[in-house]
């Protein structure tokens, strides 16, 4: 079974591409963000380790992870972000391996893996192909401002927290540009499949 990774920086349109893959091409897409949520659910080793590292104040009144509070901590503290990643990534990997085994058993030919930190975690070494979704920085800034109700400075900070597009482009097998409309993006994904089938 082939596993193809999909990634892209914040507001690049990676989620739009995975939606297109699911809805228009009936692809199976494993979502790393969903696995990340599962990895820190109540009762998981992941959540237990986060509480041990960041303290019980990181929990809500219902003993769930307070994502916004954790987000504030890691946005301003590189070491805290590294500690969090060291806890969560191994837990995500376990869940990912379970999903891969499940789809292999079902006899699927190809599965896609939607992973925001694909290159940062060197997952590309374990995949058959990598698809990178890119968009011009100004377009991404405007999307973040509109979507997340942030100002320009905050939007730029979020972009700069991530690996640069130039670094990702150097490592990606396929680049999908998303500077236009949803129809343009659908055409780009369609072009990707046309090239695969030739």
Lowest mean pLDDT, pick from 66-70, 108-112, 168-172: 66-70
The CATH number of the structural domain formed by 1-28+112-187 is: 3.40.50.300
Per CATH, 1-28+112-187 and 34-107 having the same topology is answered yes
Q: Which CATH number fits domain 34-107: 3.40.50.300, 1.10.3720.10, 2.40.50.100, 3.40.640.10?
A: 3.40.50.300
Question: What pLDDT is attached to residue 89?
Answer: 86
Question: What pLDDT is attached to residue 75?
Answer: 80
Neighbours of 15 (CB within 10 A): 16
CB 10 within 8 A of CB 159: yes
Burial of residue 86, with CB atoms counted within 10 A of its CB: 0-12 exposed, 13-18 middle, 19 or more buried? exposed
CB 51 within 8 A of CB 28: no
Q: Is there a binding annotation on residue 13?
A: yes
- Say how far apart CA 132 and CA 14 lie, in whole Å: 8
How is the chain split into domains, by residue range? 1-28+112-187, 34-107
Check residues 23 and 68 and name the one with the higher pLDDT: 23
**Is residue 161 scored above 90 in pLDDT?**
no
Q: Is there a binding annotation on residue 43?
A: no
Question: What pLDDT is attached to residue 193?
Answer: 86
**Is residue 198 scored above 70 in pLDDT?**
no
Its pTM surpasses 0.85: yes
Q: Is there a binding annotation on residue 166?
A: no
The interaxial angle of helices 45-54 and 78-105, nearest 10 deg, is 180
pLDDT in tens, 10-65: 999 999 999 999 999 999 999 999 999 999 999 999 999 999 999 999 999 999 99
Q: Is there a binding annotation on residue 12?
A: yes
Question: What pLDDT is attached to residue 20?
Answer: 97
Q: Is there a binding annotation on residue 172?
A: no
Q: Is there a binding annotation on residue 16?
A: yes
Average predicted confidence (pLDDT) for the chain: 94
- Say how far apart CA 110 and CA 103 lie, in whole Å: 9
- DSSP assignment letter at 185: H
């Amino acid at each position: 079974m082939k596993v193809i990774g999909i990634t892209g920086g914040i507001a690049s349109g990676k989620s739009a591409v995975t939606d297109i893959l699911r809805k228009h091409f009936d692809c199976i897409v494993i979502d790393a963000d969903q696995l990340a949520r599962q990895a820190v659910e109540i009762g998981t080793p992941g959540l237990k380790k986060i509480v041990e590292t960041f303290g019980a104040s990181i929990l809500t009144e219902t003993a769930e992870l307070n994502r916004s509070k954790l987000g504030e901590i890691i946005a301003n503290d590189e070491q805290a972000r590294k500690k969090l990643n060291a806890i969560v990534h191994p837990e995500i990997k376990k869940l990912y391996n379970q999903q891969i085994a499940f789809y292999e058993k079902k006899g699927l030919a190809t599965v896609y893996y939607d992973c925001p930190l694909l290159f940062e975690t060197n997952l590309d070494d374990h995949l058959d192909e990598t698809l990178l979704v890119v968009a011009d920085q100004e377009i991404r800034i405007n999307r973040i401002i509109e979507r997340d109700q942030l100002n320009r400075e905050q939007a730029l900070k979020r972009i700069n927290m991530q690996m640069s597009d130039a670094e990702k482009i150097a490592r990606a097998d396929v680049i999908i540009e998303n500077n236009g409309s949803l129809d343009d993006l659908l055409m780009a994904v369609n072009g990707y499949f046309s090239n695969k089938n030739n």
